[in-house]
Amino acid sequence: MAAPRILVVGATGKQGGAVVDALLSQSANYNFRILALTRNPDSPRAKTLAKNPRVEIVQGDPTDPPAIFTHAQPIDAVFCVTVHGKEGAEEAQASGLIDASIAHGVKHFVFTSADRGGERVSDVTPTNVPHIASKYRIEEYLKKAAAGTQMTWTMLRPVTFMDNLTPDFAGKGFAAMWNQVGERPIQLVAARDIGHFGAEALLEPEKWKGKAVGIAGDRLNFGEACRVFKEVTGKDMPTTFCVVGTVLKAVMPDIGAMFEWFKTGGYDVDIEACREEYPELQDFATWLKSSSGFVKD
């Protein structure tokens, strides 16, 4: 029997890269081949992946699915991540790939979406955050398009990435916007853990088909996060002036809307249920120690 061929969109990015890593960690237990989709096959990450015999680098753009399927047939399963853009951009990225997947006999489609307030709320609520609402519309499109076809699906609904916290300007800006949320906690997840759930859904489609799974590893307000960061690293958490957070939210209204949503609603994944499914799920302290790149003094 031929090894299943798994197309991973964004294979050199945060989520797609985490899925590739998680799949490769299961090489001893499953037979598969990864089709790592990237716009730039000459990037350092793509070149590293190309050295693995389980990986085939596929140069392409998710907005041009006919070209992908022309050069990478057959494809048995797809992991789809979309990138923020102008209004309608994410839906365009996903819908074309969904349609092409059905037309070319893909058996299972995994879409990484976003939690919108817990399982039941997420099923019916887009939210007022543009990029999260886009993901809701993609979920609805996938369900309707796949109904009555051979293709099953899984929705992954992660929360805000711990990996957004970095020592550079972008990471400090993220921390400043988090600070402005006040005492209300937000939920966070390590990109590594999204990769685990993505790989599981791709490798065990019968178990995961028809499921929408929230993914979160911790729930902290800014002050709590600062205390954990200090305890783990011996340093203050990198941040910047709150006014910088205000400017960033004005310049990036989509992200600004998300942080405003955190003040009154926000994510509500059942973290304990998530950890029961995956006991190695990282909380913030574990992420800092194991995955973040921050070094303890």
Q: How many domains does the chain have?
A: 1
Name the DSSP class of 288.
H
Q: Going residue by residue through the chain (297 aa), what tens digit of pLDDT does each one get? A: 568 999 999 999 999 999 999 999 999 899 999 999 999 999 999 999 999 999 999 998 888 898 899 888 899 999 999 987 667 788 988 999 999 999 999 999 999 999 999 999 999 999 999 999 999 999 999 999 999 999 999 999 999 999 999 999 999 999 999 999 999 999 999 999 999 999 999 999 999 999 999 999 999 999 999 999 999 999 999 999 888 889 889 888 899 999 999 999 999 999 999 999 999 999 999 999 999 988 655
CA dihedral 241, 244, 246, 249 (to 10 degrees): -140
DSSP H helices, the chain, are 14-24, 44-50, 65-71, 89-103, 119-124, 130-146, 169-179, 191-203, 205-208, 222-233, 242-251, 253-264, 271-277, 284-290
Q: Is residue 248 part of a domain?
A: no
Q: Is residue 117 part of a domain?
A: yes
- Rounded Cα gap, residues 24 and 30, in angstroms: 9
The residue segments making up the domain with residue 107 are 5-159+191-215+268-281
Q: Is residue 126 part of a domain?
A: yes
Q: Is residue 79 part of a domain?
A: yes
Cβ contacts of residue 95 below 8 Å, gap of 6+?
A: 138, 141, 145
Spatial contact of 243 and 250, defined as CB atoms under 8 Å apart: no
pTM: 0.94
Name the DSSP class of 164.
G
Q: Is residue 262 part of a domain?
A: no
Domain of 141: which CATH number? Answer: 3.40.50.720
Q: Is residue 208 part of a domain?
A: yes
Q: Is residue 58 part of a domain?
A: yes
Q: Is residue 168 part of a domain?
A: no
